Chain A
Amino acid sequence: MSLQTLIPLLIATPGVLFLLLGVIWLLGGHVSERAMSRISKATHAFLAVVVVIIGWAMWRENMTSIQVSLGDWFTVAEYGFPLSLLIDRLSLPLVGLTVVLTGIVGSFSVRYLHRDPGFYRFFLMLHLFTFGALLVFTAGSLDMLVVGWETVGITSVLLIGFFQYRPEPVSNALRVFATYRLADLFLLSAVFLSHHWFGTASWVGIFSGDWPGGGYKFDGPAATVIAVLLAFAASGKASQGPFFGWLPRAMEGPTPASAVFYGAISVHAGAYLLLRAEPLIHHSVIASGLVIFIGLTTAFLGTLIHRTCADAKTSLAYAAQTQLGLIFAEIGFGWTTLAVIHLVSHAMLRTLQFLRAPSMLRDYHRVHAAAGGKLNPTGGCYESLLPFAVQLWLYRWALARGFYDAIVERWVIAPVQSLARWLAIFEPEFSHRSSETEPSAKAVETPVS
């Protein structure tokens, strides 16, 4: 089979699997846990083989990139909207990473979610996510990337709200969803503008030469604007810069979901986007400065907050955010190879750490006992260099998670809500369901038997 068919097959497999399972579910059918586990394992084994074949073929033939054209969505005179896939030295490692990690997490989850009422739903989401992630990494254009990007986003949100019978996961999922939508505005703007200004949104159309070390075909303020927009879009996905602070909210889902989405693949998709757009960013001082600034500030803030986190998963979330900040900075500086290595390596480490988060208790006690009951106190490292008043303020700042939630609630959500209330004047028939009727709905719980 030629690579031209293998690559679409690689991406389509999890997607088709999702569709099949989804249709079975909608028709009221059921797939037993055992069958689901076999299907998932077989699929991931197959995907792994395909990735190995692709990688081996590329290495043997010394190809640096493969372009797969799936035809055009539509063509109008000169202008076409091509659907294309691209595998090169950037996407291959990420595709490999995705296949390995989703495979491992899938295998883990077969046991972990055994007998959970959401077992089927979880695997449905996992396959859809795999499809989305593979599409992000192999998309040949920004348009295709958006499709994968949104798929990854929606599955992430649905898995945060996995325990839908409790209010907290649902409200946190909603918050993350809103953050994603906001960040997606930047991505969509970038797509529109690149079509508008460049006449294309495909990587081949925008960049020249192979990654890494490729050049760009466009220049000037347009390129800068698009680079900046992409940087913000990537920040949303990776919980960086103005969007930092949503990552802990994602810890409401089951542990393997936290691992594969927020330890590994989903958050790193942001870094991938920047890596892909690196030539564009690199050409503009503003864009690269912005990426470096976002990365370094987030890394610094993240590590400070991480130091005060007293629970296993939040602590890991901010630690992941810190390293992502560094990866952003590396990209800003143009150290792309280092960034890819850092990204892949970090994703593997975090997946393991997230999966093993429930072991924290045992691990800590073992290390404590092995050290003879005395562990070197932490927190005396950089903090102690500062005057006590500053320490105390920084601690306060870190404990409040950088006041992020307070700021967002006071100066983003509240104004939007009051604007909405003001606008509601124009639509009275839809908006009279105000707070007066809400509480009574809550008090119904105990009907007289």
Chain B
Amino acid sequence: MQDAQPSGGCLEHLRRVVVRASDFLPTQGPIGVFVHHNTLHSLQHKVFEEAVVEGAHLFGAEPFLSEDAYQAERKRQRILDEDIDAVISREPDAEILPGRLTRHQLRRVMLTPGVRRVNGINISWHLEEGDWLRTFRRDLPANIRSSLRKDSPKALWNACLIYAKPQSAPAAGRPKRPRDAVLAEFGIDMDLLTHPPLIRLVGAYLDQGIACWPMPLREEGLLKAARKIMPQALTIFPARLGGVRAAFLKQQSCGMDAEEVVLDALKQLAVPADEWEEYIKEELLALRGWAGMVRMLENDVTLAPHDRVRCSIMEFLALRLTYTVAALKDIASDTAAWRTIRLPAPRFDPLTHIARMFDVAQLLGINSSSLKALSEDELARLDQEIVACDETERRRLLHLAYERRHERNFLLPLARHRAMPQIVRSSNRLIAQVIFCIDEREESIRRALEEVDPAIETVGAAGFFGVAINYASMDDADGVSLCPVVVKPSHAVREVAVEEHAHLHEQRQGLRRAWSRVARNSFISSRTLVRGWISTACLGFLSLFPLVLRVLTPLAYGRFIRRLNRAFLPEPKTEFTFMRDDAASRDATTGLMRGFTTQEQAQCVYDVLGPAGLHKGHARLVVILGHGSTSLNNPYESAYCCGACGGHTGAPNARLFALIANRPAVREALRAKGVVIPEDTWFLGGYHDTCNEDIHFFDLNLLPESHHGDLSRVHQSLEKARKLSAHERSRRFAAAGRDITPELGLRHVRERAEHIGEPRPEYGHCTNAVAFVGRREITKGLFMDRRAFLVSYDATKDPTNEALGRVLGAAIPVCGGINLEYYFSTVDVETYGSGTKLPHNITGLVGVMNGYQGDLRFGLPVQTVELHEPVRILFVVETTPKRLMSTVKASAELTELVCNKWIRIATMDPDDGRVEVYRDGVFEKLEGDEVPLPVSPSSMAWYRGKMENLALARIDPRAAA
């Protein structure tokens, strides 16, 4: 394997190893399309609790919140002691001191009241300066205190010193990469030497249009381009990287390709073949943002927003290793010796363990004499158990307790609410049905709408509404996929101007072309030398107006710009091209089919209306609202859009769905499938902006005269509902102020959307915690605080579980991905998340980095997750455990997510409402009723003046205020 001539087998091995190693890289594509996914996707085949700990080692991250954070939650009763007891009792027990102490008892005292924070760094301080040796802990219960009464801390400490078994120091680690060895041996951080040139090269190579002068020779690939550009004559390499020139020249003269370069470097670094994977993984993870981007663009070139550049993780690796070897040669001359260097042992203080024993002895009420009385065996077991319940283990248990409390706080009131009579019983036909996305951010407006007008029913369906399309609006150049990322759309739909407005369309596009030329020109000319001289000197003054107005009066400025657009940019009426006759024809170049056949259309409608189960019959007006989010100056804008539409707005899907569902031919075909839509039902597409709460409708001109009355009622109700929803959202924003009216709430959220200095235009999915898959009647009138994805599904209409499979197949990966991304970005915002947004700098139009040369950041920023409560999402599915598991087991991905406990899942029996929770492979009936269900006359009365997460409440207008 270590031959100078790489044999075929060697190459094969290398390729396999690189693919496996790069699996650990972040899988976030260019930031313009932000798709939420499980940050630890590469470890999803393992059980959640093990995977997070392994991930923590692998990435140097935190597996859970800090122990202090959980203890703070315990203080404010977010975690109860009974939760901790319940969690511990599910763990295996063992006897430590026969008849006196079991593992459960030990863990209980170590979690509540909890051990004191002690480590090798602060232990001497506690002993010498702190009061550890002066008094016992002050938070001990009376019976424990009495057993310690005759003892002194000093005596106990001394006893611990004598009897506790000293722990061996952790072994000195082996260097994983040359950088570790060089840092230990020479005190030089090689990453600081090699990363800046690498970042600059890769950044310039991947650039999608920021640099006026794109990198030459990009078509030859990263490695070859770098090799031709970097080692030219009369160039100066940074200190210690002088060897790169020779290495590049040698590679070039030998005509080595990327794989040969990597093999050569591995040989020079003397990495044996069976350690390649480990080593390459470490090297790639050192600059994981950029490496991950290269890999994503290699796997799918269509992710590149503008310039498709050929990417290869092998070339990236070759480049990286070339720089690494050169730097290592310069510093250490021998490139193989680094592996033999021992790293300095992590600082270790044997007193730490003594201190923990000392602390635990106090918690257990073991005084110095009873400690002396313990047998050797008992002492050893005690030692071992204390070590086993280390910080990670305690955090794991606390996290489970944290989730348990969340589970009970949600499920018990939910079950209660279900058992109570429905708040509004209407036997008459509904005025309207409004279909929203399942998004938890729509929960507030759905509840508000039903509160405002009880004759309106809301329905939740995944926001692409069953129509997976490649779509381009009349203003777009290329189509984008509007569907969950796991689906590849095969139908293209285009927005075009109606025939009589063709001239307006031409005018519009002409004007837009002219505008784009002006905008592009002023963009470039404000930065270059010659044109910049003229434009900055003469026209720079003009920027004072947008600068002042945008910052001081963002709303008025936004109105002004919109007015300008309306005045000058003609708005032609548009329609969709979505009809296709031939079932087989495909566009030869794109592989997309233009539009849908009637049968396909009927199937799309059936997919949504089937599981949604508009079983009370269809109202005269059915409104479908897609959603998206608009904000300014925000690279993460796409993260706020519809996850079910792959980070885009779902408006076109809603519009298309309505157009399809209104076609008589489709209704005919649906009737054959058993879905009968009354003649007088009209579908209307619309759009809801979750940031500024705007709502508008499409194709109003097609609406029959007879339905105008219905629309105006729905419109008025939606108008009220969006104000209420905006008001409810504003309670989370400190800047909104308390005691504002719904009108002011709406104004506040609109200002957020229009302000260029706003890092939190909205809070995104930060409140997500549960998903309810079932009939809306069950959750109707329940205040869920925008924390629940609501998926409409009626098990009574789905005897074959076919619809359930479809619903869960979309909902679990999408909601689970969102939830897990938020979980990881919250527990470690610097490693799994992207840190604070404030110094972010857009680079290459593919991502953001800190400062002027840093690693690409992935995950979510602090400003998005700061309110998030990191619990795994709790799915409650209205079905039976048997039906649920047969559906889950039918899909490998769902099985992985459910059985490895990446999501929590429970069922609610459709007939009697019995709740059963999935735990370790079995369903257990939910018992107990310790959580009340408060009743409030309105949502506003319940949330008013509060900023924190709120408990479930029953909103009953008849209840006394």
Which A residues lie at the B interface, using CB under 8 A?
Answer: 33, 100, 104, 107-116, 162-163, 166, 168-169, 172, 248-249, 251-256, 299-300, 302-303, 306-317, 319, 322-323, 326, 338, 341-342, 344-349, 351-353, 355-379, 383, 388, 391-393, 395-400, 403, 405-407, 409-410, 414, 435-436, 438-440, 442-449
Residue interface bits B106-118, CB-to-A below 8 A is 1, else 0: 0000000000000
Residues of A within 8 A of B170 (CB): 448
Residues of A within 8 A of B540 (CB): 344-349
Interface residue from B239, B524, B853 paired with A410 (Cβ < 8 Å):
B239
The yes or no answer to B944 lying at the interface (CB within 8 A) is no
The yes or no answer to B595 lying at the interface (CB within 8 A) is no
Contact in complex: B211, A308 (CB < 8 Å) = yes
Residues of A within 8 A of B477 (CB): 368-369, 371-374
Residue interface bits B158-197, CB-to-A below 8 A is 1, else 0: 0000000001001000000000000111111000000011
- Give the top 3 A-B pairs by smallest Cβ distance, nearest first: A373-B477, A345-B540, A435-B187
Contact in complex: B213, A345 (CB < 8 Å) = no
Residues of B within 8 A of A376 (CB): 520
Contact in complex: A322, B229 (CB < 8 Å) = no
The chain B residue with its CB closest to the CB of A435 is B187
| Interchain nearest-CB distance for B204 vs A (Å) | 5
Interface residue from A111, A315, A440 paired with B755 (Cβ < 8 Å):
A111
The chain B residue with its CB closest to the CB of A438 is B187
Contact in complex: B238, A358 (CB < 8 Å) = no
Please tell me the number of chain B residues within 8 Å of chain A, measured between CB atoms: 119
Residues of B within 8 A of A166 (CB): 850
Contact in complex: B850, A299 (CB < 8 Å) = no
* Residue among A109, A252, A364, A435 having the largest count of chain B Cβ atoms under 10 Å: A364
The yes or no answer to B32 lying at the interface (CB within 8 A) is yes
Residue interface bits B836-870, CB-to-A below 8 A is 1, else 0: 10111111110001111110000000010010000
Residues of B within 8 A of A316 (CB): 527
Contact in complex: A356, B756 (CB < 8 Å) = yes
Task: Give bound CA distance, A25 to B25, whole Å.
Answer: 43
* Residue among A172, A341, A367 having the largest count of chain B Cβ atoms under 10 Å: A367
Contact in complex: A251, B851 (CB < 8 Å) = yes
| Interchain nearest-CB distance for B328 vs A (Å) | 16
| Interchain nearest-CB distance for A271 vs B (Å) | 13
The yes or no answer to B509 lying at the interface (CB within 8 A) is yes
Contact in complex: B520, A375 (CB < 8 Å) = yes
Given A300-B529, A356-B756, A168:B232 Cβ within 8 A: no
Contact in complex: B544, A348 (CB < 8 Å) = yes
| Interchain nearest-CB distance for B694 vs A (Å) | 18
Given A108-B757, A439-B187, A444:B305 Cβ within 8 A: no
Which B residues lie at the A interface, using CB under 8 A?
Answer: 31-32, 119-121, 167, 170, 183-188, 196-197, 200-201, 203-204, 206-217, 228-230, 232-239, 305-306, 343-349, 352-353, 390-392, 475-478, 509, 512-513, 515-517, 519-520, 523-524, 526-529, 532-533, 536-541, 543-544, 546-548, 551-552, 632-635, 637, 734-735, 755-760, 836, 838-845, 849-854, 863, 866
* Residue among B215, B524, B536, B637 having the largest count of chain A Cβ atoms under 10 Å: B536
Task: Give bound CA distance, A131 to B347, whole Å.
Answer: 47
How many contacts between A and B, using CB within 8 angstroms? 337
Contact in complex: A349, B513 (CB < 8 Å) = no
Residues of A within 8 A of B548 (CB): 100, 104
Given A311-B841, A372-B509, A378:B210 Cβ within 8 A: no
Task: Give bound CA distance, A362 to B201, whole Å.
Answer: 24
Contact in complex: A251, B852 (CB < 8 Å) = yes
Contact in complex: A406, B237 (CB < 8 Å) = yes
Contact in complex: A346, B537 (CB < 8 Å) = yes
Contact in complex: B532, A323 (CB < 8 Å) = yes
The chain A residue with its CB closest to the CB of B123 is A447
Q: A112-B758, A399-B200, A409-B239 are in contact. List 9 more A-B contacts (CB 8 A).
A: A309-B210, A310-B206, A316-B527, A352-B546, A361-B845, A367-B519, A375-B516, A406-B236, A435-B186
Given A346-B536, A439-B184, A391:B838 Cβ within 8 A: no
Contact in complex: A254, B239 (CB < 8 Å) = no
Residues of A within 8 A of B634 (CB): 358-359, 362
Given A375-B520, A392-B229, A249:B852 Cβ within 8 A: yes
Residues of B within 8 A of A107 (CB): 551-552, 757
Task: Give bound CA distance, A366 to B518, whole Å.
Answer: 13
Contact in complex: B527, A315 (CB < 8 Å) = yes
Contact in complex: B235, A400 (CB < 8 Å) = yes
Contact in complex: B537, A341 (CB < 8 Å) = yes
Contact in complex: B842, A312 (CB < 8 Å) = yes
The chain A residue with its CB closest to the CB of B230 is A396
| Interchain nearest-CB distance for B181 vs A (Å) | 10
Residues of A within 8 A of B197 (CB): 400
Contact in complex: B843, A379 (CB < 8 Å) = no
Contact in complex: A396, B235 (CB < 8 Å) = yes
Contact in complex: B849, A111 (CB < 8 Å) = no
Contact in complex: A371, B546 (CB < 8 Å) = no
The chain B residue with its CB closest to the CB of A251 is B852
Task: Give bound CA distance, A442 to B516, whole Å.
Answer: 52
Residues of B within 8 A of A256 (CB): 757
The chain A residue with its CB closest to the CB of B758 is A111
| Interchain nearest-CB distance for B904 vs A (Å) | 27
| Interchain nearest-CB distance for A39 vs B (Å) | 16
Task: Give bound CA distance, A58 to B551, whole Å.
Answer: 30
Task: Give bound CA distance, A131 to B757, whole Å.
Answer: 24
Q: 6 A-B Cβ contacts within 8 A? A: A107-B551, A252-B851, A345-B541, A360-B842, A370-B512, A372-B513
Residues of A within 8 A of B390 (CB): 448-449
Residues of A within 8 A of B121 (CB): 444, 447
| Interchain nearest-CB distance for A359 vs B (Å) | 5
* Residue among A353, A409, A448 having the largest count of chain B Cβ atoms under 10 Å: A448
Contact in complex: B852, A314 (CB < 8 Å) = yes
Residues of A within 8 A of B735 (CB): 111, 114
The chain B residue with its CB closest to the CB of A108 is B757
The chain A residue with its CB closest to the CB of B188 is A435
Interface residue from B184, B353, B513, B539 paired with A371 (Cβ < 8 Å):
B513
Contact in complex: B212, A447 (CB < 8 Å) = no
Contact in complex: A311, B635 (CB < 8 Å) = no
Given A312-B841, A355-B757, A399:B204 Cβ within 8 A: yes
Contact in complex: A322, B213 (CB < 8 Å) = no
Residues of B within 8 A of A403 (CB): 235-236
| Interchain nearest-CB distance for A240 vs B (Å) | 14
Contact in complex: B516, A255 (CB < 8 Å) = no
Interface residue from B183, B188, B529 paired with A299 (Cβ < 8 Å):
B529
* Residue among B528, B543, B757 having the largest count of chain A Cβ atoms under 10 Å: B757
Task: Give bound CA distance, A391 to B232, whole Å.
Answer: 12
Contact in complex: A349, B543 (CB < 8 Å) = yes
Interface residue from B214, B234, B344, B537 paired with A439 (Cβ < 8 Å):
B344
Contact in complex: A357, B536 (CB < 8 Å) = no
| Interchain nearest-CB distance for B288 vs A (Å) | 16
Contact in complex: A393, B232 (CB < 8 Å) = yes
Task: Give bound CA distance, A410 to B477, whole Å.
Answer: 49
Interface residue from B234, B528, B755 paired with A306 (Cβ < 8 Å):
B528
Given A323-B532, A364-B209, A444-B347, A306:B527 Cβ within 8 A: yes
Contact in complex: B547, A351 (CB < 8 Å) = yes
Contact in complex: B236, A447 (CB < 8 Å) = no
Contact in complex: A391, B235 (CB < 8 Å) = no
| Interchain nearest-CB distance for A441 vs B (Å) | 9
Task: Give bound CA distance, A410 to B538, whole Å.
Answer: 41
| Interchain nearest-CB distance for A305 vs B (Å) | 10
Given A349-B536, A414-B239, A313:B229 Cβ within 8 A: no
Contact in complex: A310, B536 (CB < 8 Å) = no
Residues of B within 8 A of A341 (CB): 537
| Interchain nearest-CB distance for A108 vs B (Å) | 4
Residues of B within 8 A of A438 (CB): 187
| Interchain nearest-CB distance for A114 vs B (Å) | 6
Residues of A within 8 A of B184 (CB): 439, 443
Contact in complex: A349, B346 (CB < 8 Å) = no
Residues of B within 8 A of A436 (CB): 187
